[in-house]
Structure 1
């Protein structure tokens, strides 16, 4: 049947009902025009897979869904000389703690090492009971793909620990990295409240008092990653630790490196679901000043979606509002020509405070005030800047980011 579509460029068999099997795989592999393929694997017997020679000559995008061991064996059976984008949606009960040994065979695929630039890994099930291993441990087999530019990881339950040293290892392994996205359930410890709180994406959960066993990156780790990846433009991680003293890099060595390394203007967007140890104004302001110095290219005018609602990433929202005010104070043009007019008015209001700490206090006071006017800092003289529809200065659609498919 498939042989009738010899000129087919894209094909999706994204349903169990298609009964994908070895015979179908052989037919597909011979389609010389196929450029993109999506397949759900449920009943494929890995023991029946034999290496296919000279197959998928033009395939550039491959998306596989199913048991990870089956997906890996299918990939190893194919040549894939031009594949540059690989998506694996793992639907099995194995825990992420076993991820590294199961991915290890992929590092032995000679063609992938030469061509792969984009990888997306989505774990739909499984938990990490005690995250004693960090992110680099889970991704160890993927570090051999030195041409990687785009890495998207989704731990549907609990994300692993991510420390500064992890970011250094990723930067050393992937010098061409442009986009790093790690999602999952956050588990954050704040030494001022002596408790953990969970957040899956932006959802709140109960707090639990305990000793933290999970590491989070600091600004020092981010700067080391950016130094190693000069074209890095987007980073989305679960949590940022506002206290650099709790990072895994030696403070004295890190400080000397920070002084010797120039700013990193290529990084345009940063996003965190949570910010740990940011419950005091002093730490928030110190974090903002470090971000401002290290990443002058951060586009604060594109942060409306991250800051649109008080309960959505509240700590990071506060950090971005402070950074916006700091840059407006330095130069009103820093908001950019396309910034929302009410955003400019709010930043102008915040910049009227004598210090960054004063801006932070104004934000705290607004949180405690009228909920209908929450985070709305327009003074009377700025009413002319209000939109005709009266919308909030933080309203707006999601900042335009490149979709996974548009990258190819």
Structure 2
């Protein structure tokens, strides 16, 4: 034989000549030492179950062949050289927990950001808004229950009397028309521009010694220091809009600039009704409309705010106690006019001899606080009419009054004065 074979099992072995070879010998050895084995081209299948503390082998030389080895290795550790890995895709899955992360300044590419925010705040304060030029169109629809205007003053209307004066001046050689050539009737009819007739009258039913203004309320006539709202009421509930008594009155007076004003007030019985205008003076008021009774049912008052039973608690500026009309023998010349007084009239009725009434016409210039006598006379039981040959002038904003006193009590006195108001030219 040219080879030695170690066989552990009893399987049949063949020689190179295909002769069976039977070997019943069992050889045991602590180790094997071989030279370099040489293997022909063949297919080897080896199954090893190795348990060893250490295996030392020489460098094996393997011809081109396919070797399949299955090893079950148990080792305390492996030591390898530096591994070399080809390009590969690595996937790492890390779970990191950190108390804080600090990064550099992030760089964000251009992006479109949309914020949907809902704010609720009690108030917003902004600066001054700037509005570019724009067209604003406003449409109003106004509805009013009534429109109250003052007395219109027409300055530029052509007066027929003026045309007549121009023609007359040419016919008479240019002589100016004198004041007395404005006839009383022409003035009364309103044909003379800038001229107005004035007639004031008053009545005081109870003169008791001391000097009083001739007016229905008695005592001294009051003058507000500034324009005030008036309040109208009556002692009768029938004096109301729609009632059987007085329904409305017209109040005439002056405003804070001493210009003439007037307004209609609808009554509400004993409840006061405020005027729409403010008055510096009230010199006249009268009933303009009444119910089925045809007259006022009680005494109508124009006074300050606050009343009891229709009677003002503080100040009475006028009352309508006789003939649906105020009885005030007092007047204030409007701004822009001069009053030329023609005559003064006092009437008294005293039943006892040697009982007299002293009659005085007084005036107070604008800016003064003093009334001075402009006419005085004594009257018993008759009428005193004084006409001026030359009309007496009283200038704008001058207060005028008829006053009386007596040496007895319970005397009724009436007074009046009249003239023409002429508009100032300068």
TM-score, normalization: structure 2? 0.21
* Largest Rg, 1 or 2: 2
Larger strand fraction of residues: 2
Give TM-score, length-normalised by structure 1: 0.22
- Bigger proportion of residues as helix: 1
- Bigger relative contact order, structure 1 or 2 (CA pairs below 8 A, ≥6 apart): 2
